[in-house]
Structure 1
Amino acid sequence: MKKNINHLSYHSLVLLFLQILAHWTSSRSHTVRSIMDCLHRDTDELSQWNYITATLFGFGVVTTLGYNKIGPITTTGRIFCICYGLIGIPITMIIIANIGQHLNHLVRILRLKIENFCKKTTKVEDDLEASTEIASLVLLVVFLVYVALGALFLPLLNGEYDFLNGLYYNFLCLTAIDFGQLVPRRMIFLPITFIYVCIGLAITTIAIEVGSDYLKRFHNLGQKIKDVAATKVWFGGKQVKVRDLLHIVGEKCGVEPALIDAIDLDNVVTQAIAVQYLVTSNNIEQIIYEFGQQVEHDQSPLVDVILKKPPSLSSSPSVSSKQPSINPSTMPPLSQNQYSRIFCHRPHRCTIHRRKTILWN
């Protein structure tokens, strides 16, 4: 610190001496003026510590964007910066994630309102893949429009960058690469920049989440489904295995845990996904035919579940494989809605399929 003060003092003394020399020298030689121009350094207000730059630096820390124009040089300041980041970064990420969830919810509401406004004749199913594709397309358009609007209007706050440079610096900022170039020269516009950056980071967070879902699809493409029962899901703020969750649901419905453990969940999920794909492809006749073939040869996952481990208590479902409760030859053909309930039926005195029945006492 003393060295910096001494250096500045020497620099000021030399500059003062040259100014006096130039003032009292009638010729004001070109050499003296050149030396003065070399020693004269323009000071940048955004590179000096004050309340505004400290706010910018703190914003850059908690958003992980960084503000490279200033930084702490003392040990105490650096330790405080570390503690400030450890506390502020998680809180800021949670806030940005919540903003992203609200924006995503808003997009869904707008999509539903548009669909209702169009008054479609067919009933719209809440299909996950179609919803994800629509959300991805809308998100891409929103992100590009948001960056373009920022590139158009933010340079007006600075008066320095054109559209292409503004587009470049907006992209750097919203992808968490650099923040310093978007700082406006007029501090009155600083809150506008903060709000723009926070909303942009929320949109970027949603984009990263959607992109990660697509990458997971490519990663799992062609892989066989396995260990479904051991898969952990979030339920009520806790991680619960699918098997334990089914035990809880089965207990409410009067189903023994042993019967649930006998379910081949891998096969059930695999065929359910195949059925969902075929249903969305409008191949319901082929679905019914294939399912009937499985029932005829006792290959349905629901039949396998029942035949593996029959229940021992009278309060549990009982199976009648040799004496069906309904004659298959007299059963009417299944409709699409009836078939769709085969894999998602709730246990209420019902016939699961044509030959094998579950009777609830």
Structure 2
Amino acid sequence: MERTHNSLRRGWTTGSCATAAARAAWGGLCGGEFPDPVIITLPGGQDVAFALAGHGYTGEGAWAEVVKDAGDDPDVTHGAHVRVDVRHGPPGCGVVFHAGSGVGTVTLPGLPIPPGQPAINPVPRHMIRTALSDAGGHEPDVEVIISIAGGQELARRTLNARLGIVGGLSILGTTGIVVPFSCAAWIDSIHRGVDVARALGLPHVAGCTGDVSERATKALYDLPEEAMLEMGDFAGGLLKYLRRHPVDRVSIGGGVAKMTKLAQGFLDLHSRRGQADMTRLGELAHSNGAPDMLVAAIAQVHSVASAFALAADAGYPLGPVVAQGAWRTVAAVMAGTPCMLDVLLFDRAGALVARYGPHPVS
């Protein structure tokens, strides 16, 4: 398996695993042999081989199974058993997809797959069609049923329910390859959340950094579940997509530490991308009227929480200053959109510390 520049091992998407299983099952159905290893071609043109974890026949067709290897990525589907059953379809039907056990069904508009269809994304569908067509020289008339053992339970650890995907996981992938720690699936889910909210005509969405700020923001504005976008640390991933696909109003909520980083221009709020600069935080407070003694003290502490505690003891409202700074960062990303924007800071218990906005971004 190929490794990234930092020696992390790449893995395979559920779409690649399903394609390999489908190709092997089709070989068993048509020729009596299940190729093992089975070779498929990824969207980028690379040929890769997959070992089968099992195969066999049913009363109507054949099946094969591949165990997903996500490489060194902390993917919830790592080790999942992806099974594909194939059976001959009626003449002229082409390749027809079905959701088996553990694979979800789309129920809301806005996703690449319409409501009522199995949650098998367009690229995996194309990969499977291509693999089956290449095997026989033309697209066959076949029904493809994809299942993932334990998929319904695994789906609870994803954003599928919020996107209106019920009953299990999605079959995903655009390149066929999982890049470790790229968090591509999470960012894609954020984008799909925006698509669903727009398709539902929701005028107000909210992106939050964690569960506490999300619950508090949802309660504050009485927002529906579909309006909540689980931004996490990926402020840039959300905001840049909203710039291209705007909504009427956006609220950004988070704890004081991550919102301080946002105020300092960070769009990736994860700790590995750096810590809040306490000297800059002191300078921000100074530019908003903080006394010199407090500014010097803030520059010496080692955490945002300590800085807020010092400000509270001095009677200085640091929260509104940070909220306004974060608002400016967000507004700069979304400049030119017809959007009303507000930023909210919460403490660890979910109490509102400060709010700036809503104001138009341009």
Fold shared, TM-score > 0.5 on shorter chain: no
**Higher strand content, 1 or 2:** 2
TM-score of the two chains, using structure 1 as the length reference = 0.27
Larger Rg: 1
**Higher helix content, 1 or 2:** 1
Say which structure, 1 or 2, has more relative contact order (CA 8 Å, 6+ apart).
2
